[in-house]
Structure formats: C-alpha cells, structure tokens
Structure 1
Amino acid sequence: MKLYFSILFGFLWALGYGQTAQETTVEKGLHFTRLFRADPHEGVSCYRIPALATATNGDVIAAIDERVPSCGDLKWSKDINIVIRRSTDNGNTWLATERVVDYPFGQSASDPSLLVDKTTGEIFLFFNYMDLAHEKDVYYLKVTRSTDNGKTWSEPEDITSQITKPGWHTDFKFITSGRGFQTRSGKLLHTVVNLQKGLFIFESNNHGKSWQLIETPLKPADESKIVELSDGSWMVNSRVNKAGMRFIHRSGDEGKTWISTADSSLIDPGCNASLIRYNSEVDGDSTEILLFAHANHKTERKNLTVRISYDEGVSWSEGKTIYEGSAAYSSMTVLANGDIGLIFEKDDYSDNVFVRVSLNWLRGKKTSVEKVD
C-alpha cells in the first residue's frame, strides 16, 4: 500500500499537483506567502522544521519535513520525508513541492539543514535518519548534495562515522536543523547535538568531500547556529531548554576551546532560531552585521522577532516583530536582491510561511516592506 501511494503521489507531483497553490496574506504590512500546509487530500499530517538558503545563482531553496502519519518527531514516526520548494525570483513565486528524500515505510528522514559552498556552488542538505522498523532510537546522520542549484540531488551519504564518536551509537544525537556556515577561508561548519554529551562542531576543509568532528563539547547547548566573526573567531548561539534565554559560545582557536555565557537580552522559550551574517552594502554603508530571528518570549513559542547586532553579537537591537502570534522554528537567508528572506512555523505549526523584508526596514528606516505575491 505504501508503494502504491508513493507512486501515486510521485505521479501527481510530476504533473505539478501538490502544494502548487501560492496564497499570500497581509498582516500589519508584511506579506506572508504560504509554502507548506498539511492537506488531508495529500495524506500528510503536517510540515515542520523549515530550512532556507540562497544558491549561488540566486535561486532560493526552502526545505522541510513532510510528516505523513503524525506530527511526531523522528523517533515517533515511520514516515517522514524531506521536501523542497524553489524560487527563481527572490521569493516572489515558488515552484511546486518536490520530494528529495523518501525512504520506504518504516524509515524516516527529518530535520533538514542547508549549507551552500559559495566557492564550488554545491549545496549540502543534511538530515537525520532512523530505521524505526529495525533500529528504533538509533540516529544516523546523512547528507545529500546538489550541483545544479537544487534542481537535482544525489543519493544520500551516511556521514555518521565522520562526525560522531564510536561510543555515541545509541545516544540521542542529531544535526541541528536550519543551516550551516562557510568561513571566509572556505571552511564549512555545522553543529551536531548529543543530548548526553553536549553540542559539537563538525567541519570540512575540502569543500564537503569529507567531514571531521571537533571533539570539544559546548555546554549548555541544544539546537545551535554558528557564524564566523569579523576577527576570524567563531560564535555559536544556542537554545537551552528551561533557561528562558539564549547562551553564547565564543572560540578564538577554531573550536579547540570555548568561553560560554548566558545572554539575558535574548529571551527564549527553548526553540530553534536562525543566525546569519549580512554584509551590508546599503546606501554606501559597508558595515558587516549579524541578524538573529527567534521566538521573543521566555515561556511561549510566539512573537517572532528579527534583531540586528552591529558589534559582532556583543549587543542586539530591540528588533522588529515579524509575527506576534504563535511562531516556532525559523530560518533566514540573504536574497540575491539584498533583501532578507525568512521562513517560519506559524500558528501552532499549521502553516510554514515565507516573508521578505528589506535591511532598511529592519533598521527602522521609513521604507515600504517589499511585497511578495
């Protein structure tokens, strides 16, 4: 029966059905474009865990979990696939949904994250995998690659042995969803969580041909984002459950040692967030800034806010509210036209919407928000 429905849905996808509709709503001047919403006619319970990135040709890729039997996470669902939508015009319009990772029933893939190698143009889509039928509660970490800006994807590669340690086999471990980071030297960086042992950084010095684990744990930390600062040091911004705030980890020696502090200015209910670097060239201003999107509330996943740091994460602006209501995981990218694209889980995970804003709007300058429809 699973095979029948997979063939049927694949046929419908090939014809252009399934998540082709593009509905845009306007709320307080912002235009929200619905990219993923569960439809009972598709037999999908929900879409969760979005990731967003801009390919080197300017195409925008949005990836997400397609959770079929329930909204449960990886260890509780025997059928989760990774699907994407692409935009070739800075998020104005979006192509139909495509499945890029789809295992047989009993095996699931979850928590997509994207990393674009700006040197080679290759895109890496990481995800976590489990064979619930034969090895329940054992997590494997995989990656699929695209060399044509997200049009086609390679067979997934298991990189568990490269980015974990042998004693971790039965540990609760996963690659953080959302996105990784590339340094100015070309090194590729990402984060992997081991709930028993801490957060770890993994890296590639050869454009993703192989990956290595940096064995120094960061604590406290759950799902996290890493960036390189202007002085070449690294900064990790971490979710810490029940803390009510984010934790910041800084390293001046490429991850060998870390200094960890709580940042009470970044309140947080315990939710994945998004952190990116923006090289500003607006109005002759060449200042490099950091952008941070998070659920700006101590106890509830709501009030999605984007903040700016002009001093490499030492302090943050009050921020601009994107959505006051229910809002959870988010992912940002810098678009080819210089705007900022953001996808987030909206209204108790029922919707996953894309919104585009300008840097001037985030800075509080009087300028209209770019319309996305």
Structure 2
Amino acid sequence: MNIKLVLSTLLFPCFLFGQGEQLEAIENDLKFINLFSADMKEGVSCYRIPSIITAKNGDIITAIDERVPSCGDLKWSNDINIVMRRSSDNGNSWSDIETIVDYPLGESASDPSMILDETTGEIFMFFNYMNLKTEKNVFYLKMISSMDHGKTWSTPTDMTSQITKPEWKTDFKFITSGRGIQTRSGTLIHTLVNLENGLFLFKSDDHGKNWSLIETAIKPADESKVIELEDGSLMINSRVNNLGVRYIHTSKDNGNTWTSRPDNQLVDPSCNASLIRYSSIKNGGTKNRLLFSNLNSKDSRENLTLKISYDEGKTWSKGKVIYPGSAAYSTMTLLKNGDIGLFFEKDDYSQNVFVKLSLAWITDGKDGVK
C-alpha cells in the first residue's frame, strides 16, 4: 500500500480515494463523488453543465459537456462533446467516462438534458448544436434517445424546425440543461429559451415521435424547470438575471396562459437550478413533496441548498445546505431506493460531483416516510 496515501488519509480523514482515481470528499456527513474533472482526461479543459436521470431499470445516468480547448460555452468553443457515466448500484460505483455525442472539430454539442418516458422506458437526451465552421452563431436543437437504459443511443435528430419558429433562425436560443418532465397523462414537456423573445415550452403527446412548440412566451425567465402540480396545473421555476430571486409562472390551461410572480423565498444569484417531485398523493404517496436545489445567495455562486415544499411550491422550508462553498449548476433525480441523487458543479467548475441525500437527512428526521 502507498505509504503517502495512508499518511494523507490519517492526517486528512475528510478525503478518501474511491474506485480508480475518483476522489471522494466527506463534508457535513455527505459524501461527494467527483465524476468529471479535467484531470481525468488529457487535453480536456473542463466539464460543465450536468444532467442526471434515473432509468426505468434503476440505473443512474449522468451526462455533461466535455469542453476540450477551453471552458467556453457553445458559441466560443469548436470542440464540445457530450459524455456520460452510469451507476447500477444507487451511486456507490460508476462506469468509466463514455462519449455519446462527438462531432468533427469545428462542430460542438452542449447543454445536455434528459426526460424518461415512464411508459416506454425510452430516455430522451436533448442538446444544443453549432457548426462554427459554416454557421457560427446559429443554434440548432437536437435530440438522441436510448431504448436500453442509456447503454446505446440513436444518431442525433435535428428538431429545430419542430420546436422553433423560422424567424428565430439567427436568435440566441437553447434548450434548458438538466431535465424535463412527463405529466400524468403521458405528455413529455421541456423548456427552451429565446433570449430575444422569452421562455417557451415544447412537448410531445406521442412518446417522443413528434414534438411541437407551445407558442406562448413566458417572461421574465431564463433557464427554467417545469413541473406538474397535483391539480394538473403547470409550474415553471425560472432563473431571472440581476433580480436576486427566482420567478414562478403557473398555468391552468396547459401552457396557453400564465400567471407570474417573483418568489422572495427562493433567493438566487442568476444560475440554473433544479426542481423535481419527490412524491404525490395522486400517485400513491402519503404527502405531496417538491424538492428544489439552487445557490441560496443573492449575488454569489455559492451555498448550494436544498429546500422542500409540502404545498406544491407555495411555501418552502428554510433549506439544508449541501455545500457552502463555490458551486453552480445543480440537477436532481429520485433514486430507486428512495434517496435523492444530486449532481452539481463544485469549486469554481473544477469538479462535478454526485451526492446521495435521504429525505430524513434533508428534514432532520422530521419526514422519513414516503
């Protein structure tokens, strides 16, 4: 055994080495598993923009940008790939990094997001694409899918014409990273941003065969998450730049009209966040529970916090701090054992870590029943 490793473990017990060279950090009774960082692959500048989902068979799928020449976003990098890792044991161990979208140099794919169709088991992964050689500054919106729990993926499909308007061709537009939803009726719904025109929903009513745009613009909003409420209404939780809090939009008519308000309970420094449903009475749960993770700070990308709501987002708990230091985008999924999987950018984008959280831990033991 490496003597230096033994000594460092004894002297600094908060750090442990997991499988391979994967670094695990124990802080505040939480174990952070670093899944993606530049030191894991030669030539990569950084990994950014996390996405996570639980497949129908219970496997956890994480996807992220592999940004090669620089950490720049899509418009400023000619080599961004989408890569993934998988866990089949509730996040205890992980597969090697696998590339699933890789275009020739000069073309880039960015901002992965996923939806699981609970009926068919198909996973849809969306991403934004740009050819910096021939159409710099023109954004295309694309999709791949998997019918075998993320083991293999289809070739990319360009869905730009289905979910945008022709006059948007040169607009700054993108599908929100992270994840979308499936409603109780089976409709798949996701969000896209047009910086000039607002936030929009797009949907599929036939299990992903065809997609369409809901043409009502939602403002103010940037990167957003949509959820179905217990009464069938839609609620969107939005990043709004330079406001210091999140904005909430609700619709009772499937997205045709919206009511909007700022939510002063949800402090935010203008960053992508995560919103998922933990349980629903209509789906057999004992309570309605929504979970929200973001940076609980008005002006700094730090203090990642998770909050819970028992009244469909009207009020939120004070929150449990997941990581007080530097953090950024976060995304969540419900694991097959009932825990919550949280995947987030940590320490000035240098690491992208996974952490498991129990409902009992989040609520300090006050709510440990499904």
The 5-angstrom pairing of residues 245-324 of structure 1 reads 245-279=245-279, 286-324=286-324
What's the secondary structure of 1:138's corresponding residue?
coil
Matching residue of 1:345? 345
Counterpart CA distance in 2 for 1:40 and 1:30 is 23
Q: 1:28 Cα deviation (Å)?
A: 1.5
The two structures, once aligned, show a CA RMSD in angstroms of 1.6
User: Could you tell me which amino acid in structure 1 is paired with residue 25 of structure 2?
Assistant: T
Q: Summarize deviations over 1:140-189 as a string: whole Å, max 9, x none.
A: 00000000000000000000000000000000000000000000010000
Change (3 A) 1:216 1:280: closer
Q: 1:361 Cα deviation (Å)?
A: 1.0
Matching residue of 1:75? 75
Asked if structure 2 preserves the Cα contact closer than 8 Å seen for 1:278 and 1:334, the reply is: yes
Structure-1-length-normalised TM-score:
0.91
Matching residue of 2:193? 193
Change (3 A) 1:142 1:197: same
Query: Could you tell me the percent identity over the aligned residues?
Result: 66
| Bigger Cα displacement from structure 2, 173-182 vs 34-43 | 34-43
Counterpart CA distance in 2 for 1:351 and 1:86 is 17
User: Could you tell me which amino acid in structure 2 is paired with residue 219 of structure 1?
Assistant: K
Change (3 A) 1:367 1:202: closer
User: Could you tell me which amino acid in structure 1 is paired with residue 302 of structure 2?
Assistant: K
What's the secondary structure of 2:299's corresponding residue?
coil
What's the secondary structure of 2:167's corresponding residue?
helix
Q: 1:21 Cα deviation (Å)?
A: 3.3
Matching residue of 2:223? 223
Counterpart CA distance in 2 for 1:211 and 1:221 is 22
Q: 1:23 Cα deviation (Å)?
A: 2.0
The 5-angstrom pairing of residues 32-71 of structure 1 reads 32-39=32-39, 42-71=42-71
Q: Summarize deviations over 1:238-264 as a string: whole Å, max 9, x none.
A: 000000000000000000000000001
Counterpart CA distance in 2 for 1:256 and 1:198 is 14
Structure-2-length-normalised TM-score:
0.92
The 5-angstrom pairing of residues 355-370 of structure 1 reads 355-365=355-365
Counterpart CA distance in 1 for 2:288 and 2:67 is 38
Counterpart CA distance in 2 for 1:353 and 1:145 is 24
Instruction: Specify which structure has the bigger relative contact order, considering alpha-carbon pairs within 8 angstroms and separated by 6 or more residues.
Output: 1
Please state if 1:90 is matched with 2:128. no
Change (3 A) 1:189 1:280: closer
Counterpart CA distance in 2 for 1:67 and 1:61 is 19
Where in structure 2 are there 5+ consecutive unaligned residues? 1-18
Q: 1:103 Cα deviation (Å)?
A: 0.2
Counterpart CA distance in 2 for 1:69 and 1:127 is 19
Q: Summarize deviations over 1:109-139 as a string: whole Å, max 9, x none.
A: 0000010000000000100000001100000
Counterpart CA distance in 2 for 1:218 and 1:105 is 36
Matching residue of 1:3? none
Q: 1:25 Cα deviation (Å)?
A: 1.1
Asked if structure 2 preserves the Cα contact closer than 8 Å seen for 1:20 and 1:95, the reply is: no
Q: 1:84 Cα deviation (Å)?
A: 0.2
Please state if 1:105 is matched with 2:105. yes
Q: 1:288 Cα deviation (Å)?
A: 1.8
Q: 1:285 Cα deviation (Å)?
A: 6.4
Counterpart CA distance in 2 for 1:357 and 1:21 is 23
What's the secondary structure of 1:39's corresponding residue?
helix
Runs of 4+, deviation exceeding 6 Å: none
Q: 1:80 Cα deviation (Å)?
A: 0.1
Asked if structure 1 preserves the Cα contact closer than 8 Å seen for 2:48 and 2:345, the reply is: yes
Please state if 1:139 is matched with 2:159. no
Matching residue of 1:167? 167
Asked if structure 2 preserves the Cα contact closer than 8 Å seen for 1:320 and 1:362, the reply is: yes
Matching residue of 2:236? 236
What's the secondary structure of 1:361's corresponding residue?
helix
Counterpart CA distance in 2 for 1:285 and 1:129 is 39
User: Could you tell me which amino acid in structure 1 is paired with residue 103 of structure 2?
Assistant: Y
Counterpart CA distance in 1 for 2:20 and 2:95 is 7
Counterpart CA distance in 2 for 1:166 and 1:49 is 28
| Bigger Cα displacement from structure 2, 69-78 vs 19-28 | 19-28
Q: 1:279 Cα deviation (Å)?
A: 1.2
Aligned residues, how many? 348
Asked if structure 1 preserves the Cα contact closer than 8 Å seen for 2:230 and 2:280, the reply is: no
What's the secondary structure of 1:109's corresponding residue?
strand
Counterpart CA distance in 2 for 1:228 and 1:96 is 34
Matching residue of 1:116? 116
